[in-house]
Structures are given as C-alpha cells and as structure tokens.
Amino acid sequence: MKKYGVILLALLVLMLGVVNGGWAEEKKTYIVGIDGDYYPFSYIDKDGSPAGFDVESIQWIAQEMGFEVKIVPIAWDGIVPSLLAKKIDMIYSGMTVTEERKEKVDFTDVYWVVNQAVATKEEASWTLEDFLAGKCSIGTQRGCSAAMWIEDNLVKPGILPENKLKLYDNFPLAANDLLNGRVETIIMDEPIIDKAIEGKPLKKIGVISTGEEYAIAVRKEDTELKALLNEGLKRLMSSPYWEELIEKYEMK
C-alpha cells in the first residue's frame, strides 16, 4: 500500500503542476543599479530603502513580467563599468541615451524626456546668458549628461575655463556647495533642480532645451532582457499606475 500511496502522491503533485501552468520555477532575479541621490527618479529613503519613480517602475514591471529585482545604489561614474562587469544587470535610474553610452551598452525604449535646468543663489544676479557665456563657475555631478553637455558646449569650445567646472560624486553635494558659495551656478536635469531648490534660498534661472531621453541600460548581449523590459515598459506606460506614479512624484 505504501508503494501505491507514493505513486498517488506523485500523480497529485503532477496534476497540481499542470493546473498551475507547469512545474513551479524559481523566478529569476535581476540586479538593478541606481543612483541613490537622484530624486525623484531614484534615491534611498529615510528608512534606508530604495525609492523613487524609476524604482517603483521596475518593481511594477518585475511583478507584471514575472521576475524579481534587487536594487543596488552605485556611484554614478562607476555604474556603466559595473554593468559591463556583470555586477548589475541593468541601469534604471534616469539615464540619458547618448551616442557615447551606446558604444558600450544597449538601451530599451525611451520612457521619459527631460531638459537641463540651471540654478543659482536667490540673491545672485547671474542669468542664463551669463551661464552660457562662461562667466560663472558651474557645479554638477560627475559622469552625468549635464557634465557631458558642459564639456561639449562650453569647455571644449573655450567658452568656459576648465577650472570653473567643478564635478561632484552626487548632485546634492553640488547643491550644498552652491548654498555655501563655493560655486556660482549648478546644472542638472530639470526635475532634479526643482527638488534641489525647493525650500532653499536658491532659484532657477533658465532651462536649456536638450530633449534628453531616458531609457534602461542593459548589456549589448542581453537581447532577451531588453525585449522583456520593453514589453514591461509598454504595459506600465499604458496602465493607470503610470499616471499614479507621475502624480505621486510630481513629474508634471
């Protein structure tokens, strides 16, 4: 009887597997690299947990598409090398698609578009025209698209002396140096600037229309992951949750 009991148990397990669409498989876990100081897209909250528009987006996509994610903050100037070294599986953290980055990594479909904004101290008389003429010192985050734009459009043409550009490991450090008078202006993606000046004696003096496109970065060989993420983005952006996230993080 014991023999038949074992056989019946095996048949029952088999039937349950069929009913549930096949044998249960452990979900694949992808490691997501983020900038931990990039509100509203990605940041570490007061409880030490990853949060933000991009963080909640990939968590929704993971649930929808049937995989797990582990979110890890990484220094921005080392995030692409971390992806290439397979320490992470994707970068989902307000990363602008650039030709330079496309030489090293592949990108999903675009999910957001931003421009660059410039801010200064409330009492300062600097204008956007002064900024573009290279008259004031500038602070921004190392390795970000703002730094690339300044290098290409102000430093290389000789408009801005190289010693007037100060680069930081994260953008909050640049904003603090502006408050403390160590730099005269700061530049970053407009949503980041808006948050940085909120409630502080700082003001936005203009927006540079760069039309930068955000997408998720993956390794060039990870074509299946790219397709999975593109489908997930498509579903997310057509769902009510997308508008909820936009409203929650005041993206418009």
Shared-domain flag, residues 105 and 178: no
Res 35: pLDDT: 96
Q: Say whether both 226 and 107 belong to one domain.
A: yes
Q: Same domain, yes or no, for 199 and 134?
A: yes
Residues 119 and 47 occupy one common structural domain:
no
Q: Are both 119 and 106 inside the same structural domain?
A: no
DSSP character at residue 67: -
Residues 172, 159: one domain? yes
How high is the pLDDT of residue 162? Answer: 95
Residue 126 domain flag: yes
Q: How many domains does the chain have?
A: 2
Residue 80 within a domain: yes
Would 31 be classed as within a structural domain? Answer: yes
Question: What range defines the domain where residue 155 resides?
Answer: 114-212
The CATH number of the domain holding residue 133 is 3.40.190.10
What per-residue confidence (pLDDT) applies to 252?
76
Provide the residue type at 7 as one letter.
I
- Tokens 């160590």 correspond to 182
Q: What is the CA radius of gyration of the chain?
A: 23
State how far the Cα of 231 lies from the Cα of 85, in Å rounded to an integer. Answer: 25
Q: What is the pLDDT of residue 25?
A: 64
Cα dihedral: 14, 19, 22, 27 (round 10): -120
In a domain? residue 234: yes
Same domain, 207 and 229: no
- Is residue 229 within 8 A of residue 216, CB to CB? The reply is yes
Q: Looking at the domain assignment, is residue 125 inside a domain? A: yes
Do 244 and 180 belong to one domain?
no
124 in a structural domain:
yes
Quick one: 89 and 166 in the same domain? no
pLDDT at 19: 42
d(CA 60, CA 54): 10
Residue 223, SS3 per DSSP? helix
Q: Are 181 and 231 found together in one domain?
A: no
Q: Is the pTM value of this prediction over 0.75? A: yes
CB distance 76 to 142 below 8 Å: yes
Q: Is residue 14 part of a domain?
A: no
Residue 244 to residue 250: CA distance in whole angstroms: 10
Q: Which residue has the tokens 């408009």?
A: 159
Angle between helices 53-65 and 223-237 (to 10 degrees): 110
What are residue 136's phi and psi, to 5 degrees? -120, 155
Establish if 201 belongs to a structural domain.
yes
Residue 83 corresponds to which amino acid?
Answer: L
My answer on whether 98 and 121 are in the same domain is no
Regarding whether 158 and 39 lie in a shared domain, the answer is no
The two three-digit tokens of residue 238, written as one number: 């057509």
- The predicted pLDDT at position 1 comes to 45
Question: Which parts of 132-201 are beta strand (E)?
Answer: 138-141, 165-168, 185-189
**Full pLDDT tens readout for the chain, 252 residues:** 444 554 555 545 445 444 444 445 688 999 999 999 999 999 999 999 999 999 999 999 999 999 999 999 999 999 999 999 999 999 999 999 999 999 999 999 999 999 999 999 999 999 999 999 999 999 999 999 999 999 999 999 999 999 999 999 999 999 999 999 999 999 999 999 999 999 999 999 999 999 999 999 999 999 999 999 999 999 999 999 999 999 999 887
